[in-house]
Amino acid sequence: MITVMQGVLGLASGALVGFSLGLVGGGGSILAVPLMVYVVGVPNPHVAIGTSAIAVAANAAVNLGNHARGGNVHWSCALVFAAAGIVGAFGGSLLGKRMDGQNLLALFAVLMLIIAVLMLKTRTHIGEQRVAISSANTPALVGLGLMTGTLSGFFGIGGGFLIVPALMLATGMSIMSAISSSLVAVTAFGLTTALSYAWSGLISWTLALVFIVGGIVGGLVGTAVARSLSVRRGALNVVFATIIILVALYMLARNIYVT
């Protein structure tokens, strides 16, 4: 069970997570894990990872519906990417559970900084508004999906911050299309990772429910803001990268302080 204060903090944290998912298609577990550990007060990093996985998967599914209504989801590419990623996510989650929790969070933060730099370097890239599965992009979708899924499972994240740049690289789609399409894989990866952690009894179901409720509200706001920013060239990329950098630096600082 969780305390009333943890419930309130969990609701607010869930709203922030949902907002990030709606805005940039990522940040779900990247925000949820540190929020659960450092704000809500979940003492076990592995429980925080497992709980965030199921909460983020549910919130991503809700946000996917919001983006799909705007016609921005490229289903053929997203489903192939997600299918390959599920295989990687299962294997990655098995490896991640064997690693020390604090070391896992530190590696997680370093990976986030690398992704942020790459997104800033490509912020002026416009991309294609309409893409579809083809013999040319299928190998890249499968390969990057498998790699991204493995990292997602290993770090216990939905993977949006990895999936968005991977989809752009594989297909040349715009960042708005990649954000929308990424939610298919975020949902799939999150569920795969959550099942693995649930099997090991590493999920707080009450806290997960609180996060989901807060995330639904935050997601509606985030999706609306994303549509507004998408008309400004490079704006979403900068927002995307800035969020990653701030959270990564905070996680590294906390990890250094703990150690």
DSSP annotation string for the chain: ---HHHHHHHHHHHHHHHHHHHHHS--HHHHHHHIIIIII--S-HHHHHHHHHHHHHHHHHHHHHHHHTTT---HHHHHHHHHHHHHHHHHHHHHHTTS-HHHHHHHHHHHHHHHHHHHHHTTT---BS-----TTTHHHHHHHHHHHHHHHHHHT---HHHHHHHHHHHH-B-HHHHHHHHHHHHHHHHHHHHHHHHHTT---HHHHHHHHHHHHHHHHHHHHHHHHHTTSTTHHHHHHHHHHHHHHHHHHHHHHHH-
Q: What is the pLDDT of residue 222?
A: 85
**Paired tokens of 185:** 């894989």
Q: Per-block average pLDDT, block size 10, for the chain (259 residues)?
A: 85 88 73 84 85 86 84 89 89 76 73 78 61 87 91 71 84 84 86 84 90 89 80 70 80 68
* Cα separation, 18 vs 210, whole angstroms: 12
Task: Decide: pTM greater than 0.85.
Answer: no
* Cα separation, 138 vs 161, whole angstroms: 21
Q: What is the pLDDT of residue 153?
A: 77
Q: What is the pLDDT of residue 144?
A: 93
Give the distance, in angstroms, between the CA of residue 63 and the centroid of all CA atoms in the same chain: 12
Q: What is the pLDDT of residue 80?
A: 95
CA contacts within 13 A on the Cβ side of 251: 29
Q: What is the pLDDT of residue 187?
A: 86
* Cα separation, 1 vs 209, whole angstroms: 12
Q: What is the pLDDT of residue 138?
A: 93
Burial class (CB in 10 A: 0-12, 13-18, 19+), 39: middle
Q: What is the pLDDT of residue 110?
A: 83
Q: What is the pLDDT of residue 210?
A: 92
Q: What is the pLDDT of residue 122?
A: 62
Of the candidates 169, 171, 182, the one whose C-alpha atom is nearest the C-alpha of residue 226 is 182
**Paired tokens of 211:** 């996060």
Q: What is the pLDDT of residue 140?
A: 93
